[in-house]
Amino acid sequence: MRLHGLRLLPEETAWLRRAEELAQRADARGYPVLTDFLTPRERMIAEAVAADVGVFTAAWGGHEEAERQRLILQSWEGEPDAEAFEIDVLGVTVSDGAPLSHGAVLGSVLGLGVERRRVGDIAVLGPRAWMAVCRGTSDFVLGSLRRVGRREVALERLAPAKVGGVDGETWTWPKPRWEPSEVTVPSLRLDAVVAHACHWPRADAQRAVANGSVSVNHVPITAPDHEVQEGDLLSVRGFGRVRVEEVQGATRKARLRLRLGIIRSRG
């Protein structure tokens, strides 16, 4: 099934129907409809559905480069202000100064019974973390989250102007730290790139692709021979993310040299 050039997977049918319902509600009732946090793929589908129905969309996730964003669907053209998206940013600080990890913060929040769709991006920098949360859920998290893993934490609701680290006199959301890496691969096949980026045996990379553990630009790809392109973002379950920053050309042995950026899931 295709939607505005998007090839939909069978498991995406339920979200497609939900997006159609939300778009039709915004069109029929004449007031904005606000979603929970959406993945980039969910947002792409919802925006395509909205275009079919004839309603307008706007997205925001709490900071300029947010991956997970809330979407407003409305029957008129116009850009809502940030407050309309009802997002709170919570600061998390470990009391003993030990470093946090994204997985530990998210796991602790979900352990409270909070649904994943109510939590947006999470950024971690040493003993501090920032997370975007749907308003209405943020009070519960503030009142309930006392530990991340085994460590005690303190929480605060941050004003939009005080999110992230100091850059001169401007407060900004911490940017992800991409670890530079250069590899040579026999081809741009997905399994080959995953194997060399993750330092896995080729057979392990093939299994990871075949069982749906690898996404390219937020779309699960199960074909090991899928060709990767410059600029692609690979998400590899159990490893992290790989960004193909540059295809630098061929070596003397006819292999391809790639410049990558890597963010590991843990560590």
Domain that holds residue 106: 86-172
pLDDT the model gives residue 194: 97
Angle at CA 182, nearest 5°, toward 184 and 213? Answer: 80
Same domain (yes/no): 77, 100 = no
Q: How many domains does the chain have?
A: 3
pLDDT the model gives residue 11: 77
Same domain (yes/no): 9, 52 = yes
Q: What is the CATH number for 70?
A: 3.30.1370.160
pLDDT the model gives residue 255: 94
Q: Give the mean pLDDT of 87-93.
A: 94
171 or 124, greater pLDDT = 124
User: Which of 55, 81, 107 marks a domain boundary?
Assistant: 81
Same domain (yes/no): 184, 223 = yes
Q: pLDDT tens, 252-265?
A: 888 999 999 999 87
For the chain, what is the mean pLDDT? Answer: 90
User: Which of 26, 46, 81 marks a domain boundary?
Assistant: 81
Q: Would strands 119-125 and 128-134 be described as parallel, antiparallel, or unpaired?
A: antiparallel
Q: pLDDT tens, 202-216?
A: 999 999 999 999 999
Q: pLDDT tens, 47-69?
A: 999 999 999 999 999 988 899 99
- Who's near 218: CB < 8 A, 6+ residues apart? 39, 40, 41, 44, 233, 235
Cα separation, 20 vs 24, in Å, equals 6
